[in-house]
Structure 1
Amino acid sequence: MAEEMQLDIVEDHRVDDHRAVNRGAGDQGVEDNGAAGTARAMRVAATLARKGGDEFAKPGKLVEVRFVKGQSLSLTASRLLALMILTAGGDAWRDTSHKLRKADIRRGHKGNERIVDMLEELHRTLFAEDDTSWRGRKATKRFSLIESSWEEVEEGDKETGWIEWRFTPDARRLIQESQTYSVMNRQAVLGFRSAYALKLYEEGALRLHRRQPIWRVDMLGLRAALGIDPDKYGDFAQLRRKVLTVAQSEIDQLAHYNLEWKEIRRGRAVAEIEFRFVPKDAPAQIQTVDELERHSSGRKARREGEVEMISAPAAIPAPAPAPARPRRAAAAPSSPWEKFPEGSLRYGTAEGAFRDVALRYGGGWDMDVIADAYRQQMGDRLGSLRGAKLEKSWRGFCEAFFSRRGRP
């Protein structure tokens, strides 16, 4: 029964996405395949865009595309690319231009000089994929992701304006062909301070979606995926300290999962790395949501446990309490995430949102079995959980429940 309900939900999404694609029929270029050519990644991206919020989908083939040897994207350019994909949403595969406010890129910086540098870096950075030549032989294809861009020129001291860009045909082809995707959080993407951590975050989110939480890669493949220069961190101890340890600490703090890795040696040299992406349980999910909502200025200190304790000032006598007013009747909940249901998730409108999450992320386990385990783990804390924190906590628990137990 659970599997039938899950299929019904998936089919509903397919119908909505089919209608959305049909509205764009007749477009040229990559869109010649019509609705049948629109991959699952773009249908999910369109759904998340309609929902709003900080979550967005990055197509799997864009996550896995490797850098050309000796090239990589800086942290700021990687963030800009993520914002471009978020903004384009379900239309990223279309042969059209996309627009983004400069203010959404600056994040508090007053000037727009850095935007020019980021755009030019995206234009000149090359990516590579395996392909065949005109003779049918194995070949490496090199390409960029941004075809053209426009930046509005400011008049006077005005700090407003927009940028506009088009993805290259190669980028749109990869986007359209992607049947898998990584669901990422905008605040997490903007919160990373290491470009390597951000790239590993994308890899982990992609593999968790595929239900493949383990990624085993040799050192050449790891360098190509993360964009580590061949002449940089030649000693593995340096790579461990400067890349892996830093990435692990940031991901554990900002992502919806934890990162673990194991070094596989041949002789004395490290030949491969086995990464494991472990979904966080409900309390850890809540801590992550809280951290993403806090200012980034003290994030490193909080991560390293160096936050200073500030003594509270002397207590000021509280004024006399005002006379109590008659209580009004409580308004009906405006969101399904006002509180966790007390009974079965199978029935009722208010339980629908929780039911959908359990079907989608619970791996086929009975939704009420997962709900009972969730109530038991959360205990009294569940009564005070509301809104986005409750939604993310419940989703994270369903993912972790399935990850620990496998399919029923």
Structure 2
Amino acid sequence: MHHQARFVSEVSDALIGSYQEPEPIKRPGQLLATDVKVTGQPLDPTHIGRIIKPRELVDVIELTPLNRSETILYNQLLAHAWNNIRTNPVHKVLKASLRGSHESNDRLHEAFDKLMGAWVKVRARDPQTGAMATFRVHLLGTNKEEEKDDGYFYYTFPPDLLAVISQSKAWATIKSHIMYALRSKYSIRLYEMIERRIGLVKQHEEFTIDEFRGLLGVPNSKLERFADFNKYCLKPAMEEVNHLSDFTVSIAAIKNGRAVQKLLVHWFRKSAEELRKAHDEREKSRIGRSERWRGAATIHVIGAE
């Protein structure tokens, strides 16, 4: 009964779409990302929750690459603060609620340090001039961690980042139970990227290889050959997103001669039956997934040599 009720809730969310219903006092075009509330229990991997992540943080370019755990931790901190992010300068959260199944805070200590030093590039409209600009900002501001294991973590967001977030009019509604199910940082970034776009009229977008690498958070020194990028990043991320999320992604490589120049990305909502299959897959053990999914993701090639 629990699994069935959870599935019905997930299907309802997926079929309704990424955007929550606007507040009645504002028209959709006037709605800001900060007007939309985080719901459920997004810090708990065993429960359903919805995290609001503004476009500027979804399409961020990491100057300091994060791993999967650090990416999830930042989403948790953002979600915990979100409903009061415009009014509370300092947020606090129990460390125990961030460590998942781990009994120790050791990983948290390292992740807090990494987030504190993480630089990103954010493209957004300058609140002062109204012109588009690229901001180079820290992801996390000043913070304080109580030393006891069951203590609190107090944290802030940098003023420049808050200024960008406060004016955002586009966002992804991240289903936390899907985020936790994804085992790769690249899968999470691809999921967020499509979740941000799934509510748009268009169903495809073209990217250069460098643009797409940046959006997935691939470090400059890694997977430099397209063959490696395809094998170790694109295909595994597509497999996870297509089997575990509530939409399907397809990617075509556009070639000019022998070189891949661009990627054409399409996305589609799943039917109720496809959503059920995704739900069932999330409920299964991770053991054996590679065998069940073998060869499921294919990058099509457009253009002749």
TM-score range, shorter chain: 0.7 to 0.9
Higher relative contact order (CA 8 A, sep 6+): 2
The counterpart of 2:37, out of the listed 21, 30, 45, is: 45
Higher radius of gyration, 1 or 2: 1
| Match in the other structure for 1:105 | 98
| Match in the other structure for 1:171 | 161
| Match in the other structure for 1:299 | 286
2:254·2:264 contact (CA, 8 Å) conserved in 1? yes
The counterpart of 2:61, out of the listed 39, 62, 66, is: 66
2:59·2:122 contact (CA, 8 Å) conserved in 1? no
Instruction: Provide structure 1 residue ranges, at least 5 long, that are not aligned to the other structure.
Output: 1-8, 19-37, 307-408
| Match in the other structure for 2:75 | 82
SS of the counterpart of 1:228? coil
| 1:273-288 equivalence runs, <5 A | 273-288=263-278
CA distance in 1, matches of 2:251, 2:153: 39
From the superposition, tell whether residues 286 and 267 of structure 1 become closer, same or farther in structure 2 (CA, over 3 Å): same
CA distance in 1, matches of 2:175, 2:123: 30
The counterpart of 1:181, out of the listed 171, 174, 194, is: 171
Instruction: Provide structure 2 residue ranges, at least 5 long, that are not aligned to the other structure.
Output: 1-19, 294-305
| Match in the other structure for 1:54 | 49
The counterpart of 1:240, out of the listed 212, 221, 230, is: 230
| 1:226-237 equivalence runs, <5 A | 226-237=216-227
Cα drift, residue 104 of structure 1: 2.2
CA distance in 2, matches of 1:139, 1:60: 14
Superposed CA offset, 1:238-269 (max 9, x none): 10000001101111122111111000112211
| Match in the other structure for 1:196 | 186
1:249 aligned to 2:236? no
SS of the counterpart of 1:229? coil
Cα drift, residue 61 of structure 1: 1.4
CA distance in 2, matches of 1:148, 1:246: 36
Comparing 88-97 with 204-213, greater Cα deviation is found at 88-97
Cα drift, residue 105 of structure 1: 1.7
SS of the counterpart of 1:234? coil
CA distance in 2, matches of 1:117, 1:50: 24
SS of the counterpart of 2:220? coil
Q: 1:61 corresponds to which letter in structure 2?
A: E
Question: What is the TM-score normalised by the length of structure 1?
Answer: 0.59
Superposed CA offset, 1:102-123 (max 9, x none): 2222111111010011111111
From the superposition, tell whether residues 108 and 172 of structure 1 become closer, same or farther in structure 2 (CA, over 3 Å): same
Superposed CA offset, 1:75-106 (max 9, x none): 11100011112212322234512222222221
SS of the counterpart of 1:259? strand
2:253·2:264 contact (CA, 8 Å) conserved in 1? yes
CA distance in 2, matches of 1:172, 1:65: 14
CA distance in 1, matches of 2:40, 2:21: 17
| Match in the other structure for 1:126 | 119
From the superposition, tell whether residues 288 and 93 of structure 1 become closer, same or farther in structure 2 (CA, over 3 Å): farther
Q: How many residues align?
A: 266
From the superposition, tell whether residues 139 and 82 of structure 1 become closer, same or farther in structure 2 (CA, over 3 Å): closer
SS of the counterpart of 2:79? helix
| Match in the other structure for 1:205 | 195
SS of the counterpart of 1:91? coil
| Match in the other structure for 2:89 | 96
Cα drift, residue 141 of structure 1: 3.3
From the superposition, tell whether residues 138 and 179 of structure 1 become closer, same or farther in structure 2 (CA, over 3 Å): closer
Cα drift, residue 287 of structure 1: 2.4
Q: 2:91 corresponds to which letter in structure 1?
A: H
Q: Percent identity?
A: 23
1:98·1:166 contact (CA, 8 Å) conserved in 2? yes
From the superposition, tell whether residues 302 and 160 of structure 1 become closer, same or farther in structure 2 (CA, over 3 Å): same
Q: 1:252 corresponds to which letter in structure 2?
A: N
CA distance in 2, matches of 1:10, 1:113: 40
SS of the counterpart of 1:216? strand
Comparing 216-225 with 201-210, greater Cα deviation is found at 216-225
| Match in the other structure for 1:147 | 141
| Match in the other structure for 2:3 | none
1:182·1:209 contact (CA, 8 Å) conserved in 2? no
1:93·1:175 contact (CA, 8 Å) conserved in 2? no
Cα drift, residue 49 of structure 1: 5.8
Question: What is the TM-score normalised by the length of structure 2?
Answer: 0.78
SS of the counterpart of 2:278? helix
Name the Cα RMSD after superposition. Answer: 3.0
